[in-house]
């Protein structure tokens, strides 16, 4: 069950909100666990039992690790047993069982479970008396499909911080706003651009042209961003609607000066996970340069493999390793004093990211090489060029909107007018009306059948 499906929006969500709000406060987490399991049963019934077993295994491991603080050997054993169980399950279903796409959220669940075990082992978190909270952390329906990869310590109910009803409603209102914004990003931009991307990437190399491949690659970069950022907005929104905090996952990643900075703004929680549970335990940057390079290589190789075991994902990961290692060792682009050089590097960064996304989207490394070759060598094909013009005419407004909203236009305007009270109020009203209209339009796309699964649901 996707967040953008009609059954979720007008079926599951109102029931979940109703149950959550009428039930006694101390029973709310139990209710959310039950709702999450129902959500999972609807989305991936054949894996429900395995999912429940995995939750129990992890919570038992976590609780034992927590309560046997002094038996270091046993603690270590339980930690490794838990990690091996999670990675074994992920590896089996990701690389040896073709049903991975049906095992909703297995990748994200694995990462959350490992962070839970490691944090408990490292005594970074204090478990409360109720294992229900641990179960809830691992299975909450708002985050189970594709993250964000929140940490146990951050999964706190907002009411434990501020108990006022007004604050709770504000949290709900903010969550609603984020959910609607994400819904619009996903349906109105990502899914519409998917029409272009799917067509271009399924066209044989012989039938494409320079213009068409560039259109396809740019649209894919935009599609992936709006798809995943839209999903993340919805997940964050839902988490807040149910009274919990959730970490941000995107921060206008195309507003970047370097590839390293891009990854601090793109899929933030995944980057943080690799940093905290792979890179830093290996020594991070506080070792000699060779070791730093090795650490970076391992992180990016694993990032590539996590996305898929095929050569194109490994090449994609290594591509990032090469450039990020260069930036780390050389100190560029921070070393540039010249604005022109900084600008050139910034453009080069965006182009590099675009090429990387082509590798990411391709079915094989051969297709990726062929596609990139077509992007680098000018070729004309009258039919492909005509098709390109047609697609630009048909989808131009969506592409333009996608490019505009890639950049922090709305925060920029709000920052400028926030102190001019009347203008700000008018802006807020217009903003909400536009968002509401966009939401209705987005629902119309879903009802009309133009709805695609979330791209990161496959990972």
Partner 1 sequence: MRNVSWAERVAAVLFILMISFFFIKSWRYDYNFDLWQKQNFIDINGSMAKILKMNGYYSDLGMYITDDNYIVSAYPKTSTDYEYQQVMALKNSLDKAGINLVYVNKPVKYTDDEWFTEQFGTETYGNANATLLMERLSNEGVFVIDLRDNILEDHMNVREMFYRTDHHWTTRSGLWAAKQIAEGLNENCGYSIDTSIYDESNFEMITRESCWLGEQGRKVSQAYVGLDDYTEIKPKNETHYLFATADGNEAGAFEDFIDETIYDLNANVYDSPSWHYSYMQRECHNEDIAYGKVLLVGDSYDQTTEPFLSLGISEMDYVVLRDVDEQFNLEKYILDNDFDTVILCYAQFMIGAHDDEDSANYNMFTFVK
Kindly list the residues in this chain that would bind partner 1 in the complex (CB under 8 A). Answer: 6-7, 9-11, 13-15, 17-18, 158, 167, 169-177, 180, 192, 195, 198, 383, 386-391, 393-395, 397, 425, 428-429, 431-432, 435-436, 440-441, 443-445, 447-450
Which one, 50 or 443, has the nearer CB to partner 1? Answer: 443
Would you state the structure tokens that stand for residue 14, as one six-digit string?
Answer: 């109102």
DSSP-assigned beta bridge partners for residue 425: none
Minimum CB distance to partner 1 smaller for 138 or for 208: 208
Shortest spacing between CB 352 and partner 1, in angstroms = 30
Q: Compute the distance between CA of residue 401 and CA of residue 404 in angstroms, rounded to an integer.
A: 5
CB of residue 397 to partner 1, shortest distance in Å: 6
Cis-peptide into 148, omega within 30 deg: yes
Tokens of 312: 């194109």
Q: Kind and range of the H or E element at 354?
A: helix 339-361
Q: Closest CB to partner 1 among 240 and 307?
A: 240
Q: Output the smallest distance, CB 212 to partner 1, in A.
A: 10
Shortest gap between Cβ of 177 and partner 1 (angstroms)? 5
Rounded to an integer, what distance in angstroms lies between the CA atom of residue 263 and that of residue 274? Answer: 11
Q: Find out whether 215 and 393 touch, Cβ atoms under 8 Å.
A: no
d(CA 249, CA 232): 6
Minimum gap (Å) between residue 415 Cβ and partner 1: 12
Number of other CB atoms surrounding residue 8 within 10 Å: 19
Tell whether the torsion through CA atoms of 198, 202, 208 and 209 is positive or negative.
positive
Minimum Å gap between C-beta 118 and partner 1 is: 28
Task: Name 283's Cβ contacts closer than 8 Å, sequence gap at least 6.
Answer: 291, 292, 295
The span from the CA of 298 to the CA of 444, in Å, is 45
Q: Tell which residue, 370, 383, 347, has the closest CA to residue 212.
A: 383
Helix or strand holding residue 316 (H, E):
helix 311-330
73 by Cβ neighbours in 10 Å (0-12 / 13-18 / 19+) ranks as: exposed
134/191 with CB nearer partner 1: 191
Least distance from partner 1 to the Cβ atom of residue 412, Å: 16
Of 277 and 427, the one with the shorter C-beta distance to partner 1 is: 427
Nearest-angstrom CA–CA distance, 459 and 449 = 24
Q: How many helices (H) and strands (E) does the chain have?
A: 20, 0
Q: At what angle do helices 106-121 and 48-67 cross, to 10 degrees?
A: 10
Smallest gap, in angstroms, from Cβ of residue 130 to partner 1? 25
* Cβ–Cβ < 8 Å for 250, 265: yes
Closest CA to 121 of 73, 157, 85, 89: 73
In this complex, which beta carbon is closest to partner 1, that of residue 347 or of residue 447?
447
CA 135 from chain centre, in angstroms, equals 22
Nearer to partner 1, 21 or 330 (CB): 21
Q: Which is nearer to partner 1, 26 or 164 (CB)?
A: 164
Nearest approach in angstroms of CB 15 to partner 1 is 7
Contact between residue 349 and residue 217 where contact means Cβ atoms under 8 Å apart: no
CB of 440 to partner 1, least distance (A): 6
Give 40 or 244: the residue with its C-beta nearer to partner 1. 244
Would you say the C-alpha torsion 52, 53, 57, 60 has a positive or negative sign?
Answer: positive
What is the smallest separation between the CB atom of 73 and partner 1, expressed in angstroms? 43
What is the C-alpha separation between 379 and 214, in angstroms, rounded? Answer: 12
User: Least distance (Å) from partner 1 to the CB of residue 407?
Assistant: 20
């Amino acid at each position: 069950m996707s967040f953008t499906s009609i059954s979720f929006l007008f079926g599951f969500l109102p029931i979940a909100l109703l149950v959550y709000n009428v039930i006694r406060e101390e029973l709310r987490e139990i209710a959310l666990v039950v709702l999450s399991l129902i959500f999972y049963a609807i989305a991936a019934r054949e894996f429900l039992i395995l999912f429940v077993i995995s939750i129990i295994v992890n919570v038992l491991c976590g609780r034992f690790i927590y309560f046997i603080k002094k038996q270091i050997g046993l603690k270590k054993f339980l930690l490794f047993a838990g990690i091996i169980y999670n990675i074994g399950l992920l590896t089996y279903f990701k690389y040896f069982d073709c049903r991975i796409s049906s095992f909703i959220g297995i990748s994200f669940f694995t990462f959350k479970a490992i962070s839970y075990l490691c944090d408990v082992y490292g005594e970074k978190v204090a478990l409360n008396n109720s294992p229900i909270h641990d179960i809830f952390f691992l299975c909450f329906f708002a985050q189970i499909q594709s993250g964000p990869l929140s940490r146990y310590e951050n999964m706190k109910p907002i009411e434990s911080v501020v108990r006022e009803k007004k604050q709770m409603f504000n949290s709900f209102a903010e969550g609603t706003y984020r959910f609607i914004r994400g819904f619009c990003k996903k349906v109105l931009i990502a899914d519409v651009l998917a029409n272009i991307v799917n067509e271009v990437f399924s066209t044989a190399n012989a039938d494409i042209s320079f213009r068409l491949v560039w259109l396809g690659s740019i649209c894919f970069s935009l599609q992936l961003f709006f798809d995943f950022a839209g999903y993340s907005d919805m997940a964050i929104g839902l988490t807040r609607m149910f009274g919990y905090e959730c970490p941000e996952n995107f921060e206008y990643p195309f507003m970047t000066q370097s590839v390293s900075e891009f990854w601090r703004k793109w899929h933030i929680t995944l980057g943080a996970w690799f940093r905290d549970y792979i890179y830093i335990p290996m020594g991070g940057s506080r070792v000699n340069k060779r070791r730093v390079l090795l650490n970076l290589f391992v992180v990016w190789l694993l990032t590539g493999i996590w996305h898929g075991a095929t050569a194109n994902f490994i090449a994609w990961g290594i591509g990032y390793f090469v450039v990020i290692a260069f930036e780390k060792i050389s100190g560029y682009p921070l070393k540039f004093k010249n604005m022109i050089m900084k600008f050139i590097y910034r453009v080069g960064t965006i182009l590099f990211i675009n090429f990387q996304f082509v590798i990411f989207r391709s079915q094989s490394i051969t297709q990726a090489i062929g596609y990139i070759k077509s992007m680098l060598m000018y070729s004309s094909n009258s039919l492909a060029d005509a098709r390109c013009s047609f697609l630009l005419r048909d989808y131009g407004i969506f592409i333009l909107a996608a490019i505009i909203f890639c950049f922090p236009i709305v925060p920029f305007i709000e920052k400028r007018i926030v102190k001019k009270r009347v203008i700000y109020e008018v802006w807020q009203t217009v903003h909400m009306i536009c968002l509401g209209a966009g939401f209705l339009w987005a629902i119309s796309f879903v009802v009309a059948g133009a709805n695609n699964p979330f791209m990161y649901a496959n990972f």
